[in-house]
Amino acid sequence: MRIAVIGTGYVGLVSGACFSEFGVETICVDKDQDKIERLRRGVIPIYEPGLDALVEKNTRAGRLSFTTDLPAAVRGADAVFIAVGTPSRRGDGHADLSYVHAAAAEIAAALDPDDFTVIVTKSTVPVGTGREVARIIRKTRPEADFEVASNPEFLREGSAIEDFMRPDRVVIGTDSDRARQVMRALYRPLFLIETPMVFTSLETSELIKYAANTFLAAKITFINEIADLCEKVGADVHDVAKGIGLDNRIGKKFLHPGPGYGGSCFPKDTLALVKTAQDHGAPLRIIETVVDINDRRKKSMAGRVIAACGGSVQGRRIGVLGVTFKPNTDDMRDAPALDIIPALQAAGASIAAYDPAGMEEAARLIPGVTWAGDAYAALRQADCAIVLTEWNEFRMLNLNRARGIMNEPVIVDLRNIFNPQDAEMAGFTYHSIGRPGRV
């Protein structure tokens, strides 16, 4: 089988590489010439563990290739996956569908009318988008033999390949038997490992993705608020999370408190679902509240750091460990660091920061930061250390060594990666989230 994947970002590139690993001949397309040239040279434009080896293996085997020539990729493809970005539309929070619509029009113009093609939206798109894609294609090419399907992606950055290869489920929304057959054939290796497949309508499939992401965002927000309460009443949020998470109806995952969710999906997807629900006269007040709480939380985190520094960071040096929205990615989209660092700078602090993968992108987004070569360099002469991302290498930090090179022994750990006793034994005043002791 042959597919084209339009958009070679976190989702398109991983999906393309994984389909080629399944044995499907895959052509990945992007508008970004530089990205495509780098991929052709074997340079992976994003940080995603294992992706370089997978791309190299399948490129070498002749199953995976990269092009900017969308028409050539689409011609003769059994399925064309749209995996372009759907960011928040500036001003109103609706999903910006301009990239999806533009891709649909380009695909339409390239379709070979003699071949049946399934057009699949892999991007996260609001209810109704699949039918709009069909309308755009039909308008441009009334004679084309095509069907549309929705196949939302649930991979997580940082473990994207494993998530794609061994997903909890695959969701496929389409009204067409022919499209279902093509999708079934493409996902055959996952059928063989008994991955649950949810076949449904276009609209249901589109909504499943938003319902999943907003539920997870609500779960994080719930434990964050419980953490705040723990601080007031002297309880330990990790024990609360364990105590409730062992109940199978609740589940253990996504019960880790932090500075508020960020990343390329939850902030924009919560907002977009709120807008869709309002437009349809069925407001999702619970998600509206989640969005509001999370925005306030991210903004309030700088205040915690200032309080830990005795009420002012004017003229203080702050060492920041981690800037990406989570570990094992270089993705900076909507990372809490983008709220916290500028707020500390505005309050008069100078910032030295280190992140294993995100510094190049972060340097473009947050000016005025001294970027350090490693965690210890970021902490040298610092009056306070703050942990913004729970990279494993920070968990292994030698706290005695850190204490020795800092000006003041203060840690604000917004990811709770250290044991409070260990930090205090090393001589630190240690502040974390939702645990007894200092907050």
Nearer to ligand NAD, 70 or 271 (CB): 70
Q: By beta-carbon distance, which residue lies closest to ligand NAD?
A: 9
- Tell me if 19 sits within 8 A of 12, measured CB to CB: no
Which of 375, 380, 370, 430 lies closest to 405, judged by CA?
Answer: 380
How many residues in the shown chain lie near ligand NAD by CB under 6 A?
28
Segment 73 to 92, residues that bind ligand NAD, using CB under 6 A: 83-86
Least separation in angstroms between residue 87's CB and ligand NAD is 8
8: contact with ligand NAD by CB under 6 A: yes
DSSP per-residue letters across 286-329: HHHHHHHHHHHHHHHHHHHHHHHTTS--TT-EEEEE--SSSTT-
- For tokens 């508020």, the residue is 260
Least separation in angstroms between residue 206's CB and ligand NAD is 11
Which positions ≥6 away from 134 have C-beta within 8 Å? 119, 146, 147, 148
Looking at 108, 127, 265, 414, which residue binds ligand NAD (CB under 6 A)? 265
124: contact with ligand NAD by CB under 6 A: yes
Looking at 26, 58, 221, 264, which residue binds ligand NAD (CB under 6 A)? 264
Nearer to ligand NAD, 269 or 413 (CB): 269
Residue 226, strand partner residues: none
123: contact with ligand NAD by CB under 6 A: yes
Which of 345, 347, 410, 401 lies closest to 374, judged by CA?
Answer: 401
Q: What is the CA radius of gyration of the chain?
A: 23
Reported residue count of the chain is 439
Looking at 30, 231, 355, 361, which residue binds ligand NAD (CB under 6 A)? 30
Stretch that binds ligand NAD, among 97-105, 165-173, 349-357, 372-380 (CB under 6 A): 97-105
- Torsion, Cα of 87, 90, 93, 98 (10° steps): -50
Q: Is 279 helix (H, G, I), strand (E, B) or coil?
A: helix
Segment 99 to 118, residues that bind ligand NAD, using CB under 6 A: 99, 102-103, 106
Active site residues: 265
- Tell me if 435 sits within 8 A of 237, measured CB to CB: yes
Least separation in angstroms between residue 33's CB and ligand NAD is 10
- For tokens 């490693």, the residue is 374
Site string for ligand NAD, 57-76 (x = CB under 6 A): -------------x------
Q: What is the DSSP letter of 236?
A: -
Stretch that binds ligand NAD, among 26-34, 173-181, 216-224, 307-315 (CB under 6 A): 26-34
Least separation in angstroms between residue 292's CB and ligand NAD is 21
137: contact with ligand NAD by CB under 6 A: no
CB atoms < 10 A from the CB of 28, how many? 28
Least separation in angstroms between residue 82's CB and ligand NAD is 8
Q: What would the two tokens of residue 216 be?
A: 């997870």
205: contact with ligand NAD by CB under 6 A: no
Looking at 3, 5, 10, 79, which residue binds ligand NAD (CB under 6 A)? 10
18: contact with ligand NAD by CB under 6 A: no
* Exposed e or buried b per residue across 220-259, where buried means at least 16 C-beta atoms within 10 angstroms of its C-beta: bbbbbebbbebbeeebbbbebbeebeeeeeeeeebbbbbb
Site string for ligand NAD, 219-258 (x = CB under 6 A): ----------------------------------------
48: contact with ligand NAD by CB under 6 A: no
Q: Is 177 helix (H, G, I), strand (E, B) or coil?
A: helix
- Tell me if 145 sits within 8 A of 200, measured CB to CB: no
Nearer to ligand NAD, 32 or 295 (CB): 32
CB atoms < 10 A from the CB of 360, how many? 12
Q: Which residues bind ligand NAD (CB under 6 A)?
A: 6-12, 29-32, 35, 70, 83-86, 99, 102-103, 106, 123-124, 153, 155, 157, 264-265
